[in-house]
Each structure stands twice: as structure tokens, then as C-alpha cells.
Amino acid sequence: MGSSRLTEQVSLFERVPDDSRMGWGSIAAILSGVVSSLSKLMGGGIVAFYAGCQLGSMAAGILFVLGTVLTYLVGRISYEEGLPNNVTSRFYVFGTKGSAVGSIIWIFLLVGVLAVGTVQLGNAIMYYFGLTSPWMKVVLFLAISGMWILISLFGVKFIARFNGVFVALLFAALAFVVVKIALDGDMGDALTHGIMVPGVSAGDGFAYGLNYCVMTSGLMALFAADFTRFSRKKSDLVPVSLFGSIVAIVTYVFGALLTYYGYEQSVAYFESIGYDAAGAANAAITNPGVTLVLALGFVGLLIICLSQMKVETSNSIGGANAVSNLFDALFGVRLPWPAAVVIANAVGLVFIFGNILDKVNAFMSVGSILTMSWCFLLITDYYLVRGAMHIGSRGIVSLKHIEAVNWRGVVTIAVTTVVCTVLYTAKILMIPLLLAAPLTMGLYIMLSIAFRDQVRARDAQMRACEQAEVDGSDEAAASTEVAVPAGIAASVEGVASTEGTALAKDVVPDGDASPARGEASGR
């Protein structure tokens, strides 16, 4: 494969062409690169130190199950449509302009994680070289962000190969740390200790750790959906989902061991640069990069620098996708790819200089609400409302005729977020997932039933407009926003308008060929 094919970009608003599809191993490499980052090592330290090893293992088990199921179900939707998550969510959840809500959520979450990783890497570099000046920190963070921008301009296939190499290097370094723990005779304590943070109860510690696991599950599912569209066949989604969750769990375990190994030295370092006791303890847990440098010196620094390139580049691409959709949805402006990447990283710098690591608890708790509500909205609309309940049809044929705002989706995610956040802030609901998932599904289903006649009428009108384009009666057909492959347009010919109701001609991909769109449900 030539370098031009390796580094090319597939448009956010274009179905993935057959020659750009990838095997499950390449997609799993991208996903594993994201879930094996410094921020996920931090997650392992948070879960172990706040919940203890036993309750932390329960939280990690929930992460595995929830992450695998959500990644498969959400990823399948993007695979079937051949479009990234933000664009797919226009049709199934938010509407065209309403999808700005999803883009803002995604920018907040993914760019927030990008910022956390950048700070962790920057702190490790500053520790190794003994840099303490505030202006040096500013220059360093700007330089690191510039690196993310540069690498993000390459294509998805390049990133997949890049990730595969450096995931292996990172785990080799972590394995070395584990061997050192074992040789020192501390492995038993490292795997069995209880809560390590003073003043934290078992319930609060478990909730704290579980919320981070929940956010990781949702982020993984939504992030993977930007890349599962590149899958060659539906059966590839199973190993991609399993592999991503397995790597996430392994990373958490390594993170817990790494935090245990370097905790005392890391606390001493942060106290030496002005942190109080509580702040130093928190910084030691949230900066695994510093601990890797403590363990491996320059080799550790080199490995985490190269390793962070893989995940932060992927985060940068995901953030740029959200920025692109935001500008197109609100203003009808198709940003050049470099501009979208620069804007995403500029937002990341705002997070960085706003000291996001000091607010990581609030970030991950609100993040768990947003990711769960979005995931369960997609699942509810695709599989239940449009699927089993036949309220509307499935299959994106054109972006032109999607309704401006799906108020059912926007209201649902707004109500869920406000209610869960208020209850969590008031310490009434310590694990927002327990309410966010059922409230999202229940409210969206109720609204869909209440307005089913209007929903079906709008769906029929949309399918009729698509049919008109297929028949060539609409001069604007040439400007259809989604590049519809041969066979998809033909499938739409089964859609006609009869007294406000779309006639049925369901087109369901067999899972072993490139996805075909255009399912239209007659109700």
C-alpha cells in the first residue's frame, strides 16, 4: 500500500468506500491505543486507591461487561450506516441542528480526555528534566498540542499501524514495572490492599471508582463507533468489542500496580513543588507518567511520549470530527480537516490551562451521565423505537432531509443530565448510571409513543423526498450530502408516500458484505 493510501482521510459526511475498509485487527489497534493511555492508567490507580482491590475488581468487571455490550451495539449502528457517530446521531437521536448537542458533549468529553493526557505527559517531562517555571509549562503544553495536530493530519490506516507498535511498547514497560514489584516482594500487598485514601468510606470509594469505569465504557463505545464504520463485515464487531474491553481491563490492572509502586515517591515529589498533603496524594494518583519515569528513567519517558502519541492523536481526530459536525450542523460550513483539528486542540488547551486534573472527579462523574445517556439513546432509538416498535424507519439515505431537531432526543438527554447531575451533586445518587440508563430509555420511549403519529408522518415525508431524488425529479439530487453507493439508491425505490405513510421495503445487510442502507418501515 502506498503512502498516499495510508494517510488519506475519509470524509466525515461520506460512507466508507470498500477500498478504505479495514480488518478487525486494525480497528482494534486504534481502540486499544485509546484505552491504554495514561488517563486509563490513572483510572486503574483511582479505582484501586479509592475503592480498594476487592471492590475495585468488581468495578472493573462492570467495565468489561458494559464496555463490550455498548461498544458492539453502538458500533453496529455506525457500521450499518457507514458514517461516524456524530453524523449517525443526526438521524437517530438529535436531528441535524440538534446534533450540535452531541458534538458539544463529544468535544467536552473527548477533548477533556485529550487535555488530561497532555497534562500527564507534560508533568512527566517536566519531572524528568526538573522544569519548574510556569512559562516553561506553557511552552511545553503548546508544543505537545502542536504535535497532536501534526500527527492527526495523517489518515486512519496510518494511525492504526502507529497504535499497534506503541501499545506493545507501553505494555512491555509496564510489565517491567510489575516484575520489579514482584522481585521486591510487594506483589501480594499491591493486589490485595484496601482503600488507600484517608477519609474515604467503602461506599464512596466504590462509587468514585465505578463512575470512572462507567465513563470509560461510554467513551469507548462512542469512540469506537467513529471507526467501526470501517469494518469489512458485521462479525468483525465482536472481536473489536471484546479486544477493546480486555485491553481496558489490563490497562487498569497495570495502572493500579504502577500507582502502588511509585506512590510514596510521587507524593514526595509533588510536596516538594508546593502541593499540600492532600493535593500531593491526588497528584500522585492522577499522574502515572511521573511514576513511569521514576521506575524507568529516560526509557520510561521515551515510551510514554511515543505511547501517548497514539492515543492523543486518536482523541484529536475524534474531537475534530465533533468540531466538523458542529460547524456543519449549525452553520452549514464544511471546515477543512486541518482547521477542525486545530480548533479541537485549541479547546484542549482551554481545558489544560483551566487545570482539568484538579477537577477530574467532577469531570468523570458528569462524563458518565453524558456518555450513558447518549449510548442508551442510540440503542433505544435504533433497536427499540425504530426497530421493534416501528415508530419511524431505519437507514440514512441522505442528510438533506433529516429533521432539524429531534426534540424527543434533545429533551431526553437534557432532562436525564440535569436530574442525574442534581441528585449526584446533592449526594443522593452516588452512581448516576443507576438512574441515567432507565430514565433515558423510559423517557424516550414514552415521548415516541405519545408523538408516534407525527414521527411517522415526518418519516414518510423524508422518504418521499428521497424517492423524488432517486426518480430524478429533484434537481438538487446531485448535491445529496451522503455519497450513496450503487444499490442503496435502488433500495429507496421501495419507499413511496401513500396517505402520509411510508410503504415498507426493508433492506437489511447480511453482515458479511459492505453495508447497504435504505430500510424504510411502512407503518
pLDDT at 373: 95
What confidence tier does 511 reach under pLDDT thresholds 50, 70, 90?
very low
Q: What is the pLDDT of residues 65-75, one digit of tens each?
A: 999 999 999 99
Collapsing DSSP to helix, strand or coil, 500 comes out as coil
* Residue 164: per-residue pLDDT: 64
Task: Indicate the average pLDDT of the chain.
Answer: 83
Q: Range with the lowest mean pLDDT among 150-159, 239-248, 258-267, 483-492?
A: 483-492
What pLDDT does residue 12 have? 67
d(CA 53, CA 39): 19
Confirm whether 8 is domain-assigned. no
The rounded radius of gyration (Å) of the Cα atoms in the chain is 23
Say how many domains are in the chain: 2
Is 268 in the same domain as 397?
Answer: yes
- Residues 301 and 350 placed together within one structural domain of the fold: yes
Asked if the structure places residue 337 within a domain, the reply is yes
Q: Which domain holds residue 351?
A: 14-450
Report the alpha-carbon distance of residue 464 to residue 129 in Å, rounded. Answer: 65
Alpha-carbon distance of 367 to 361, in angstroms, equals 10
Comparing 141-145, 261-265, 305-309, the range with the smallest average pLDDT is 305-309
> Within this chain, do residues 164 and 150 fall inside the same structural domain, yes or no?
yes
d(CA 483, CA 480): 7
In a domain, 77, yes or no: yes
| Residue 252 pLDDT > 90 | yes
Q: Could you give the C-alpha distances from 67 to 35, 213, 215, 242, 372, in angstroms and in order? A: 11, 9, 10, 8, 11
pLDDT of residue 10: 59
Q: Say if residues 214 and 221 touch (Cβ distance below 8 Å).
A: no
CATH number for position 335: 1.10.4160.10
End-to-end CA separation in angstroms for the chain: 47
Instruction: Using the predicted structure, report yes or no on whether residue 474 has a pLDDT greater than 50.
Output: no
In a domain, 3, yes or no: no
- Does 456 lie in the same domain as 443? no
Grid coordinates given for 520 = 424504510
Whether residues 246 and 191 share a domain: the answer is: yes
Q: Tens digit of pLDDT for each residue in 100-138?
A: 998 998 888 888 888 888 888 998 999 899 888 889 989
Rounded distance between C-alpha atoms, residue 91 and residue 89, angstroms: 5
- Whether residue 510 lies inside any domain: the answer is no
> Which of 431, 450, 469 finishes a domain?
450
User: Strand 501-502 to strand 497-498: parallel, antiparallel, or no bridges (unpaired)?
Assistant: antiparallel
- Alpha carbon distance 332, 328 (integer Å): 4
Who has greater pLDDT, 491 or 108?
108
Grid coordinates given for 434? 443507576
Tell me the mean pLDDT in the region 377-384. Answer: 97
- What is the DSSP track for 26-90? HHHHHHHHHHTSHHHHHHHHHHHHHHHHHHHHHHHHHHHHHHHHHHHHHHHHHHHHTS-HHHHHI
Mean pLDDT, residues 441-449: 98
Task: Please tell me the predicted confidence (pLDDT) of residue 286.
Answer: 86
- Statement: residue 149 has pLDDT above 90: no
Q: What pLDDT is stored for residue 392 in this prediction?
A: 95
Question: Are 251 and 269 within one domain?
Answer: yes
Domain stop point among 420, 435, 450: 450
Question: Do 445 and 459 belong to one domain?
Answer: no
Please give the Cα distance from 414 to 94 (Å, whole number).
11
Are residues 358 and 310 located together in one domain of the fold? yes
**Given a cut of 70, is residue 147 above it in pLDDT?**
yes
Are residues 215 and 368 in contact, defined by beta-carbon separation less than 8 angstroms? yes
Rounded Cα gap, residues 450 and 45, in angstroms: 46
Q: Is residue 147 part of a domain?
A: yes
Q: What are phi and psi of 505, to 5 degrees?
A: -155, 90
519 domain-assigned: no
Summarised one tens digit per residue, pLDDT across range 181-199 is: 888 888 999 999 999 887 8
3-state secondary structure of 473: coil
**pLDDT > 90? residue 62:** yes
pLDDT for 457:
95
Residue 474 backbone zone (phi > 0: left; psi -120 to 50: alpha; other: beta): beta
Least confident of 146-150, 231-235, 353-357: 353-357
Q: Which of 450, 465, 492 is the last residue of a domain?
A: 450
CA distances from 339 to 79, 149, 196, 346 (A): 27, 10, 45, 10
Q: Kindly report, residue by residue over 198-245, the tens digit of the pLDDT.
A: 788 999 999 989 998 998 899 899 989 988 999 999 999 999 999 999
Taking 70 as the threshold, does the pLDDT of residue 178 lie above it? yes
Task: Judge whether 164 lies within some domain.
Answer: yes
Query: Is the same domain home to 484 and 394?
Result: no
Whether the predicted pLDDT of 324 surpasses 80:
yes
Residues 246 and 272 both lie in one domain: yes
| pLDDT bracket for residue 442 (50, 70, 90) | very high
Residue 227 sits in the same domain as residue 350: yes
- What pLDDT shows up at residue 134? 87
- Residue 332's pLDDT band (boundaries 50, 70, 90)? confident
Torsion of CA 340, 345, 350, 354, to 10 degrees: 150
Same domain, 341 and 396: yes
- Enter the pTM of the model: 0.82
> What is the predicted pLDDT for the residue at 498?
33
What mean pLDDT is predicted for residues 24-41? 84
Calculate mean pLDDT across residues 272-285.
85
pLDDT, residue 522, reads 36
